[in-house]
Amino acid sequence: MAKTALVVGASGIVGSATAALLVEKGWTVHGLARRPTEQAGVQPVAADLLDAEGTAAALATLRPDAVFITTWLRQDSEAENIRVNSLMVRNLLDSLRPAGSARHVALVTGLKHYLGPFEAYGKGALPQTPFREVQGRLDIENFYYAQEDEVFAAAARDGFSWSVHRPHTVIGKAVGNAMNMGTTLAVYATLCRETGRPFRFPGSAAQWEGLTDMTDARQLAEHLLWAATTPAAENEAFNIVNGDVFRWQWMWGRIAEWFEIEPAPFDGSVQPLAKQMAGDEGVWRALAEREGLAEPALDRLASPWHTDADLGRPIEVVTDMSKSRRLGFTGYRPTDDSFFALFEQLRADRLIS
């Protein structure tokens, strides 16, 4: 395969990590976003995927060999999630069709494939854990399924191969991202250290006590590149996590230790971050001004609602990676190292103190 890539959502957690890896591996990389940010080695493409004509114009001269779809837009209902996000994928692939250059299209979704959409998250009849790719779709509307169907239809029409990638909660850096547990926990720990408030686990006893896993954005980027360049991985859906498992009762202490604070004992009650961090905008702004931090707006860094959704789940969530392993993907990252690498980057970039 030639080495020209289009990374859709290049300013996000997954997209930026993917673009960086592709540049490192010698690819020519175009990074599409509504408002592209400067990334070393990435050629920016500004486009709103809801605008079919504008998207077609923005992509008219591009000839990507591989396309990595790492973006979505959250809406107020699942019906709107389906309409908007399927339209984005359709407009993208329709715009690339005239060039006929795409040989592979990779779509990033997630474990809501197994857990259900936000409106029914973790409710009703769910597959047994660990989640495996052979487990079919839930009998419920889900925008991930609608995105997949758009990719499958375009692949059948235009002749490219595809892969679907289902990470668990992703650890990585992206300012302004709507779903960012790692940075949210870093900001929360910084606020606890600043104010003297207890560093309380916000979630459920099931998450505190049960096994779980996560996905480093760099691990996901390596998985995307592997699938795009491995014939045996064509036209397959994959789970993708770091490869280790842990309990939050252990990880919470590891995070507290990094920030040099004491973890509060867990009493079994749910203490949502959305409630704990309510009204902290002024505290963060004052801290940012005093310490010379790069982002004084708390809501540009933290997404408490998303962290609460993940850590508040009433069931154990563990992901099986056997399918990728059998086909030759051997990537592995300890999740505490993933958190620490992110925290170090955030501190180096003056986003936390």
Q: How far is 118 from 181, CA to CA, in rounded Å?
A: 16
Q: Which of 112, 114, 173, 188 is catalytic?
A: 112
Token reading at 263? 């973890």
Helix (H, G, I), strand (E, B) or coil at 37: coil
Amino acid present at 300: R
Query: Does residue 144 have an active-site annotation?
Result: yes
Q: Which of 25, 114, 144, 173 is catalytic?
A: 144
Phi/psi of residue 208, nearest 5 degrees:
-65, -40
Q: How far is 146 from 126, CA to CA, in rounded Å?
A: 19
Q: Nearest 10 degrees: CA dihedral of 53, 159, 219, 186?
A: 20
Across the chain, the runs of DSSP E, i.e. the strands, are: 4-8, 28-33, 42-46, 66-69, 104-108, 161-167, 170-171, 211-212, 215-216, 236-240, 246-247
Query: Does residue 3 have an active-site annotation?
Result: no
List the beta bridge partners of residue 6.
30, 67
| Alpha-carbon distances, residue 188 vs 138, 168, 254, 255, 282 (angstroms) | 34, 21, 15, 11, 14
Token reading at 137? 């779709």
Catalytic center residues: 112, 144
